[in-house]
Structure 1
Amino acid sequence: MPVQYVLGEWDFHGLSLKMAPPVFIPRPETEELVGWVLEEVTQRPCARGTQGGPLILEVGCGSGAISLSLLSQLPKSHVIAVDKAEAAICLTCENAQRLQLQDRIQIIPFDVTLEGSWTHLLPWGPMDLVVSNPPYVFHRDMEELAPEILSYEDPVALDGGEEGMGIITHILALAPRLLKDSGSIFLEVDPRHPELVDSWLQSRPDLPLRLVAVRRDLCGRPRFLHIRRSRPQRGCPVGAWPGPQPARGPG
């Protein structure tokens, strides 16, 4: 059994979170994703909402690690956290209460793969950011995962389909309906995905999205994507965000 489940809690980005099987255990790479989002929000006014903090949608909240880390560091932010697994919804609720952040987070059961499901999120208003660490393991690579992962963690939170793109493409198709103009998507992906995602976006000119930056993890692997809704928001001039920069970040 993974030590996080044995202990029943684990530290993530300075927070102590409850952990329980089979909810996905957040990895160190995801802390890097949170760090990049925080950098962009604090350095670039266009990433901040009208109230001084962004409205953030996290798709696949799991334990709540990403959402709660962002809330703790962005005191004026609000989060809509969604997941289709009841165990993940319950655990995120517990962790939000544990950290006394429940007043700024809405936790909603939601399956991004269901046609028309996005309409349930419209009442919450257009989002400034969509953030996700989606299932992105290539299906053929699942059997190579460590035995303790396969035995205890929910495979649905890991298996991204044939090319690991199953949930990623659903998020990208959903995001333009929910994002503000010039809103951003931040994703953690497999190192093989930047090229696949860029090609997929280019094959879908109907989607107003473009890949503007790729960031490497501490091991030097292209691990994180920043995708922006292409039409700029008023007061946020064209070119306010950088173009694709694969060499950005650590490594």
Structure 2
Amino acid sequence: MCSDPLRCQVMNVTSPLHRLLARAARLSCRRIGSAGATAEDLARHWRNVFQDGGVPEAKESSEILIAHALGAKTFRGLARRLARSPVSEDQMKRVEKMAQERLKRVPIQYIIGEWDFLDLTLEMRPPVFIPRPETEELVGLVLADCPGARESPEPRILEVGCGSGAVSLALLRNLPRARVLAVDKTEAAVNLTADNAERLNLQHRIQILQHDILSDPAEHLLALGPVDILVSNPPYIFTEDLSGLDPEILRYEDRAALDGGSDGMEVIKAILRLAPLLLNPGGSVFLEGDPRHPDMVQEWLQDHPELRLQLLSVVKDFCSKPRFIHLRRRDGTSSS
């Protein structure tokens, strides 16, 4: 399913209609519980409630919530016997509590407290930005287009805006000799990345730093040494487009992780200014951005030849939108 960030209208979850739906759902859930409802019964019930309440991906939401409430990762992961056996009263309460949160349009990832990214299961906590499927492609591009990182004795990677740590940790998992410096401007993101690194036993190969490249001096990063790769899924949504985002995003995720300024390029420009100072000769920059950004980046670089960054390629995402930008430091001088 294409997950373009501008696709849904905002729904007022505090409306009388929503409160009526929530109350009806609770009453109905108690009735089916008293009749010995199975997990399959609950899945059908909450799918219908979510559909009536305007919750997107109603079937997927109901099945994921019920699976986690019953101790499984996916609905398919429930044993057939468990899926068709009556749920307990405690299980019913857990399902109802989680489902009521989903009716408020709380993201499913925050409700269950985790999410899969490539082959990793990451802890998720609000308001840290939830990694999207497109960003899995960003990791793939880094791995595929930088074979030198695999050959280097100890490739060094800098991620700007680490969020939950998804990109950094996925790269560490696939590049067993790599070292990562992950930076983010929020304490919540830095803490979550650290927790996920420990969860995955990758904490010894990652340095995590709270740092805002828009306001903090670059000298601190420079002192940590040059890197071979700079990768980022920065805030890139145009400010005027924020109002069109999903309710899940607008209400619960960190706005600062989304808002890229009037042209969506505020953080991207800061990264491009920083890159020549931090990259080793021939080092690469990988960015995720809005489909309008590749042309904008190319034009901006033409006005800043002193940066000596060459745009090597633009790659489309699975929705055929130009999403990813690969640049390289052109000069052969050493960084300092």
Compute the TM-score of the two structures, normalised by the length of structure 1: 0.88
Of 225-234 and 159-168, more deviation after overlay is shown by: 225-234
Residue 121 (structure 1) shift: 1.4
CA, structure 1 residues 169+54, in 2 after alignment: closer, same or farther (shift >3 Å)? same
Partner residue, 1:112: 213
On the 8 A contact 1:49/1:55 being kept in 2, the answer is no
Q: Does 1:208 align with 2:308?
A: yes
Please give the alpha-carbon distance, in whole angstroms, between the structure 1 residues aligned to 2:312 and 2:186. 31
- Secondary structure of the residue that 1:129 maps to in structure 2? strand
On the 8 A contact 2:150/2:175 being kept in 1, the answer is no
Partner residue, 2:117: 12
Q: Does 1:21 align with 2:122?
A: no
1:160 is aligned, of 257, 260, 263, to: 260
On the 8 A contact 1:48/1:128 being kept in 2, the answer is no
Please give the alpha-carbon distance, in whole angstroms, between the structure 2 residues aligned to 1:71 and 1:124. 18
Q: Where do 4+ consecutive residues of structure 1 move more than 2 Å?
A: 47-50
Q: Deviations over 1:162-217 (max 9, x none)?
A: 01000000000011110001100000000000000000011001111111110000
Name the structure with the higher strand share: 1
Residue 153 (structure 1) shift: 0.2
Unpaired runs of 5+ in structure 2?
1-105
Give the % identical residues: 58
Partner residue, 1:239: none
Unpaired runs of 5+ in structure 1?
235-251
Name the structure with the higher helix share: 2
Partner residue, 1:63: 164
Please give the alpha-carbon distance, in whole angstroms, between the structure 1 residues aligned to 2:152 and 2:170. 21
2:143 is aligned, of 35, 38, 63, to: 38
Q: Does 1:86 align with 2:191?
A: no
Q: Deviations over 1:21-70 (max 9, x none)?
A: 0000000000000011011233xx3x45741x420000000000000000
Q: Does 1:222 align with 2:326?
A: no
Residue 161 (structure 1) shift: 0.4
Report the residue type matching 2:117 in the other structure.
F
1:187 is aligned, of 284, 287, 293, to: 287
Counterparts in 2 of 1:166-181, with a 5 A limit? 166-181=266-281
CA, structure 1 residues 54+233, in 2 after alignment: closer, same or farther (shift >3 Å)? farther
Instruction: Find the structure with the greater CA-based Rg.
Output: 2
Please give the alpha-carbon distance, in whole angstroms, between the structure 2 residues aligned to 1:179 and 1:68. 20
- Matched residues, number: 229
On the 8 A contact 2:284/2:329 being kept in 1, the answer is yes
Partner residue, 1:241: none
On the 8 A contact 2:213/2:270 being kept in 1, the answer is yes
Q: Does 1:96 align with 2:201?
A: no
Please give the alpha-carbon distance, in whole angstroms, between the structure 2 residues aligned to 1:48 and 1:146. 38
Residue 114 (structure 1) shift: 1.8
Residue 122 (structure 1) shift: 2.1
Please give the alpha-carbon distance, in whole angstroms, between the structure 2 residues aligned to 1:59 and 1:205. 23
Please give the alpha-carbon distance, in whole angstroms, between the structure 2 residues aligned to 1:217 and 1:36. 11
Compute the TM-score of the two structures, normalised by the length of structure 2: 0.66
Q: Does 1:123 align with 2:223?
A: yes
